[in-house]
């Protein structure tokens, strides 16, 4: 890896150093969403672009992956646009499609006045729908160092110091590709991490067919967005916020992997559980915690907190409670944790999981309407749930619903 020597000669070393610093932060992130967010942040700050999006190659199409747009939404606000779900074919009907098809970087000064011989079209439908005016575009293919295309990044509306839209400078057109290789590698890693976790979830799903990939991706996304708002409200430093948001999305997806240890006749029972059966099921929290005992990474640490504590309740009536040795055979439930004794990520997942369990069908229950589920969440404030988390959840309902639409089934 690294740059070929000739490239060092081409650019002033201060710019290379600044790019290396930007790239380094990619390595701290695990999840694909956090990685895409970071790549757009760095590419936009390097080019002073108002907006940008990344599309990911998915067989013969490009799937929309992430978007930034300073004009349409603030970075700190909950944003349902990032959960929009669509893809475009890899062909020259779109700019990103053309870039994927040919591997060429495309720089456009004015999207509405393309040269008549332009090999691609600009689709103004997105602008019209969003109420935005695209002018200058820089679209770059994202290749790994092995030359495999991972996606396309499109930067939109470079600005001068006064905020006026200008074309992308030639220098920027040369610098962005340096970031692109490393971005592609980070994206690859992010996709692999997500797939690895979904594979773990599948093992649990074989046991509990209702605990699906879609369910856990929703719980992961709700949790990440709730955390984001919590962190903004508590003025958490941006880098710390981004790292924790990254971790909670993945760790929340693993909240119920401990169900692998619960016998089928209990887990798949179509009716209400007996008291003994429910006592057995409570152990899924402890079994989950055991999986992350060797806390070698921050992801393990958070996964442990969430797996162990996602059924604790704010008022101290949850489970498993404080257990001195979670490796003990036939482990007994301890005295419940309450309020801030419950780690914040677990307080967040507790709400996200219950909301999603209620609106989903289970072996033992029908799916509930959103209204009925929201009533349960609202009336659980201060009892089952941390009231502050409930308040934040209601503030970001449009994002919650966008997530439900994206991960269906
Ligand atoms: P789950 O299905 O993922 O449900 C997670 C949590 O959502 C539950 O935690 C509960 O707090 C909430 N929840 C789910 N369905 C309902 C409901 O119909 N009404 C209300 N008020 N809350 C609901 P809980 O109770 O600790 O259960 C943990 C896990 O135990 C459940 O995970 C599920 O796998 C199993 N389970 C719970 N009750 C039953 C049951 O009656 N029959 C069967 N077969 N399994 C059950
Ligand atoms: C988009 O801008 O969302 C993709 C279509 C295009 O590149 O023209
Ligand atoms: C653990 O065993 O790490 C959690 C139980 C406790 O906090 O006492
Ligand atoms: Fe659970
Ligand atoms: Fe669950």
Residues 352, 311: contact at Cβ < 8 Å? no
What does the pLDDT read at residue 12?
Answer: 63
Atom of ligand 1 nearest to the CA of 215: 3
What does the pLDDT read at residue 206?
Answer: 66
7 pLDDT more than 60: no
- Taking the centre of ligand 1 as the mean of its atom positions, its distance from the CA of residue 294, in whole angstroms, is 29
Distance CA 345, CA 357 (A): 18
Q: Is 286 in the pocket of ligand 3 (CB under 6 A)?
A: no
- Taking the centre of ligand 1 as the mean of its atom positions, its distance from the CA of residue 265, in whole angstroms, is 15
Render pLDDT for 165-205 as a digit per residue (tens, 0 to 9).
Answer: 999 999 999 889 889 999 999 999 999 999 999 988 888 77
Atom of ligand 1 nearest to the CA of 259: 34
Q: Which residues line ligand 1 (CB under 6 A)?
A: 208, 269, 272-273, 281, 311, 353-354, 357-358, 362-365, 376
Residues 328, 277: contact at Cβ < 8 Å? no
Annotated catalytic, 365? no
Mean of pLDDT values over 320-328? 94
End-to-end CA separation in angstroms for the chain: 40
Residues within 5 A (CB) of ion ligand 4: 256
Q: Out of 3.40.190.10, 3.30.70.100, 3.40.630.30, 3.30.450.40, which CATH number does the structure's domain 3-190 have? A: 3.30.450.40
Residues 64, 53: contact at Cβ < 8 Å? yes
- Taking the centre of ligand 3 as the mean of its atom positions, its distance from the CA of residue 324, in whole angstroms, is 6
What does the pLDDT read at residue 49?
Answer: 97
Distance CA 120, CA 91 (A): 9
pTM: 0.88
Atom of ligand 2 nearest to the CA of 96: 7
Q: The tokens of 9 are what?
A: 């000669």
- Taking the centre of ligand 4 as the mean of its atom positions, its distance from the CA of residue 255, in whole angstroms, is 6
* DSSP string for 249-310: HHHHHTTTGGGGGS-HHHHT-SSPPPHHHHHHHTTHHHHHHHHT-S--SHHHHHHHHHHHHT
Distance CA 205, CA 21 (A): 40
Q: Which residue out of 38, 241, 245, 259 is catalytically annotated?
A: 259
With CA atoms as reference, report the closest residue to 193 among 344, 22, 35.
35
Contacts of 337 (CB under 8 A, 6+ apart): 309, 312, 316, 318, 321, 322
8 pLDDT more than 60: no
- Taking the centre of ligand 2 as the mean of its atom positions, its distance from the CA of residue 409, in whole angstroms, is 28
CATH topology of domain 208-406: Hypothetical protein af1432 (1.10.3210)
As to burial, measured by CB atoms within 10 angstroms (0-12 exposed, 13-18 middle, 19+ buried), residue 217 is buried
Atom of ligand 2 nearest to the CA of 111: 8
At 1, the pLDDT band (50, 70, 90 cuts) reads very low
250 pLDDT more than 90: yes
Least confident of 99-108, 113-122, 157-166: 113-122
- Taking the centre of ligand 3 as the mean of its atom positions, its distance from the CA of residue 283, in whole angstroms, is 14
Of 255, 265, 357, the one to substitute when testing ligand 1's pocket (max ligand atoms within 8 A of C-beta) is 357
Q: Which residues line ligand 2 (CB under 6 A)?
A: 88, 94-96, 122-123, 126
What does the pLDDT read at residue 203?
Answer: 80
Distance CA 389, CA 125 (A): 37
Average pLDDT, the chain: 92
Boundaries of CATH 3.30.450.40 in the chain? 3-190
What does the pLDDT read at residue 17?
Answer: 81
What does the pLDDT read at residue 2?
Answer: 45
How many residues in the chain? Answer: 409
368 pLDDT more than 50: yes
Residues 320, 311: contact at Cβ < 8 Å? yes
Distance CA 3, CA 113 (A): 36
Boundaries of CATH 1.10.3210.10 in the chain? 208-406
Distance CA 283, CA 261 (A): 8
Q: The tokens of 65 are what?
A: 């992956």
What does the pLDDT read at residue 75?
Answer: 76
Which residue do the tokens 């610093």 mark? 21
Instruction: Name the residue at shortest CA distance from atom 2 of ligand 1.
Output: 357
Q: How many CB atoms lie within 10 A of CB 45?
A: 11
Calculate the alpha carbon distances from 407 to 132, 186, 192, 370 in Å. 27, 23, 18, 16
Render pLDDT for 263-315 as a digit per residue (tens, 0 to 9).
Answer: 989 988 888 999 999 999 999 999 999 999 887 899 999 999 999 999 999 99
* DSSP string for 105-139: -EEES-TTS--TT-SS---THHHHHHT-----EEE
With CA atoms as reference, report the closest residue to 311 among 262, 384, 252.
384
Of 66, 88, 114, the one to substitute when testing ligand 2's pocket (max ligand atoms within 8 A of C-beta) is 88
Q: What share of the chain is helix, strand, coil (3-state, %, to 5)?
A: 50, 10, 35
Render pLDDT for 20-65 as a digit per residue (tens, 0 to 9).
Answer: 888 888 888 999 999 999 999 999 999 999 999 999 999 999 999 9
With CA atoms as reference, report the closest residue to 137 among 117, 123, 151.
123
């Amino acid at each position: 890896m690294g740059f070929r020597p000739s490239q060092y000669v081409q650019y002033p070393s201060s710019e290379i150093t600044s790019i290396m610093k930007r790239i380094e932060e990619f390595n701290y992130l695990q999840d694909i969403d956090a990685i895409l967010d970071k790549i757009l942040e760095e590419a936009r700050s390097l080019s002073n672009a108002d907006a940008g999006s990344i599309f990911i190659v998915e067989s013969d199409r490009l799937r929309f992956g992430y978007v930034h747009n300073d004009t349409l939404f603030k970075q700190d606000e909950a944003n349902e646009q990032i959960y929009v779900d669509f893809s475009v074919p890899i062909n020259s009907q779109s700019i990103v499609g053309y870039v994927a098809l040919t591997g060429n970087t495309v720089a456009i000064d004015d999207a509405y006045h393309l040269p008549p011989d332009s090999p691609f079209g600009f689709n103004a439908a997105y602008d019209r729908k969003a109420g935005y005016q695209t002018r200058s575009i820089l679209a770059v293919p994202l290749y790994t160092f092995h030359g495999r295309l991972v996606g396309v990044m499109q930067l939109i509306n470079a600005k001068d110091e006064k905020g006026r839209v200008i074309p992308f400078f030639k220098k920027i057109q040369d610098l962005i590709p340096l970031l692109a290789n490393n971005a592609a590698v980070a994206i690859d890693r992010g996709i692999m991490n997500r797939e690895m976790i979904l594979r773990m979830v599948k093992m649990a799903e074989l046991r509990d067919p209702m605990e699906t990939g879609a369910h856990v991706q929703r719980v992961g996304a709700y949790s990440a967005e709730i955390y984001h708002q919590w962190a903004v409200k508590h003025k958490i430093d941006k880098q710390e916020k981004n790292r924790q948001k990254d971790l909670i999305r993945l760790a929340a997806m693993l909240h119920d992997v401990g169900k692998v240890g619960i016998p089928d006749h209990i887990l798949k029972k179509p009716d209400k559980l007996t008291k003994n059966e429910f006592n057995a099921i409570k152990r899924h929290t402890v079994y989950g915690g055991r999986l992350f005992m060797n806390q070698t990474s921050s992801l393990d640490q958070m996964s442990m907190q969430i797996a162990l504590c996602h059924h604790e309740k704010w008022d101290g009536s949850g489970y498993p409670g404080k257990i001195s040795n979670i490796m003990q055979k036939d482990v007994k439930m301890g005295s419940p944790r309450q309020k801030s004794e419950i780690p914040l990520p677990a307080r967040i997942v507790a709400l996200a999981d219950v909301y999603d369990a209620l609106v989903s069908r289970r072996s033992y229950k029908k799916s509930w309407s959103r209204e009925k589920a929201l009533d349960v969440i609202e009336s659980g404030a201060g009892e089952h749930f941390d009231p502050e988390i409930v308040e934040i959840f209601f503030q970001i309902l449009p994002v919650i619903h966008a997530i439900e639409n994206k991960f269906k089934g």
